[in-house]
Structure 1
């Protein structure tokens, strides 16, 4: 029998916020398994981005975050960063480095455990090229990050996280402000990383239909607490949309079985 907590991320009784103001209170999730993608949805100010930042070690957090049975809360930030890769909503503006340089920099700033003993030779550059090729943007390696489109910047940001081969991938609204093509590309890459590398992917999304299409399960945040958790078909309902988003809406299926949400009225 597999040991308890093996191949799982378990978030239990987590509280975090800004200063003395808690945003997330006593938050817990069912175990998240390796190879799965979980979408985190909810209205504005529900605490989604705050939760992801706290899991990444960026903020004061209490409670328990266990990966493969090992407690991460209280561990040094560098140790957590080697296991949990965090992609913020946007990259800093005005970066004059090339895409390749930013990926190499991300790798050197927080190398995975299996590269810490390697000599500082061409290995980081090779790994960076491999990450760009894996994400599908190798042709952008020598382009300046500041010259990229929004979608290209998001893909480059994803490569900066993937190059470190984290066990958990935390993506904060990676499809925001992207066109339909790049939304699909980012989500397909997130699913592929979960399946092929056994990563646990936790992704914040505003597009509920997109979450329903790609996620294995959905966690719904409302007022800093977990409203519901389960498969898209079970949790994305008209009743949920009324209670959490305060809209009168219908949830229907297209000819391919994908969930479609039609908002009829805002309450």
Structure 2
């Protein structure tokens, strides 16, 4: 999808010399990166390369050891927490569901950034909840307990919570983890619809390179906490890059359904020993 200049001028997240650490262990090191507004960005890379850590840094859940993160040019660490919560919504990798909470009650928590002390629940608040439930196809689940839903249903409910915040920037940390293929595609189709219909900027961490190439406008590839490549999937996802970053010899061919890059690992040469 080609983005207009106006679409990319807002909701631009950027890292400037960003360093992120856990204790004395550096995970992300000196990262310079700009994520386009009005686009779907997928962050990919090997296990333990810093993908989820980067996402935590981008939403201010992890303080930088070096550098800064900006949103439309403003340092996010200088923004009031409530202001930032109105700008970006987050679906963490493994969200913890409060015990016995219903779907509607959980989604209502997304309105917290818009609440004021002693202010009543408003028609606008309820309208935002209803819109989030409708967009995620979870309205009929509103009275069910979240911890009794299937994995795919729970992911949709958590996305509904993020949508109820009414942010234009949505960050998702491995939204397809632990889901079967059908539910993976359901969640990714939902993300694509939210972007196409509402113009939301989406940043998501994914493991599947084919899904990342199919659903993203912009691809960020990390290796050992550093930027290996960034740009349109058709330009970034090459056989040379996949082997260099993931250690997997492969061919990259057009997806027969979408024409987007599809990674096909090369067949392993099997050796057999014959009995003497």
User: Same fold by TM (over 0.5)?
Assistant: yes
- 2:243 is the alignment partner of 1:252: no
Cα drift, residue 248 of structure 1: 1.0
Cross-structure match for 2:161? 160
Question: What corresponds to 1:120 in structure 2?
Answer: 120
Aligned match of 1:53: 56
- The equivalences for 1:49-198 within 5 A come to 49-61=52-64, 62-93=66-97, 95-108=99-112, 110-111=113-114, 119-123=119-123, 124-198=125-199
| 2:265 equivalent in structure 1 | 263
Partners of 2:117 and 2:41 lie apart in 1 by 33
2:213 aligned residue: 212
In structure 2, C-alpha distance between the alignment counterparts of 1:129 and 1:99, rounded to whole Å = 11
Q: CA RMSD in A?
A: 2.3
Query: Against the structure 1 CA distance between its residues 70 and 195, is the aligned structure 2 distance closer, same or farther, given a 3 Å change threshold?
Result: farther
1:57–1:77 CA contact under 8 A, matched in 2: no
Secondary structure of the residue that 1:43 maps to in structure 2? coil
Displacement after TM superposition at 1:118 (Å): 10
Deviating more after overlay: 16-25 vs 70-79? 70-79
Query: 1:87 offset after TM fit, Å?
Result: 0.7
Structure 1 residue 9: deviation in Å? Answer: 2.5
1:29 aligned counterpart, secondary structure: strand
2:273 aligns with none
Conserved? CA contact 1:57–1:80, under 8 Å: no
Indicate how the Cα distance of structure 1 residues 87 and 32 shifts in structure 2: closer, same or farther if over 3 A, else same.
same
Compute the displacement of 1:42 (Å): 0.1
When residues 254 and 105 of structure 1 are mapped into structure 2, their CA distance, relative to the original with a 3 A threshold, is closer
Runs of 4+ with >4 A deviation: 115-119
Contact 1:63 1:73 in 2 (8 A): no
Per-residue CA distance 1:186-217 (angstroms, 9 max, x = gap): 11222222233332211000010000001001
Query: Which aligned pairs between 1:30-45 and structure 2 lie closer than 5 A?
Result: 30-33=34-37, 35-45=38-48
TM-fit CA distance, 1:86 = 1.1
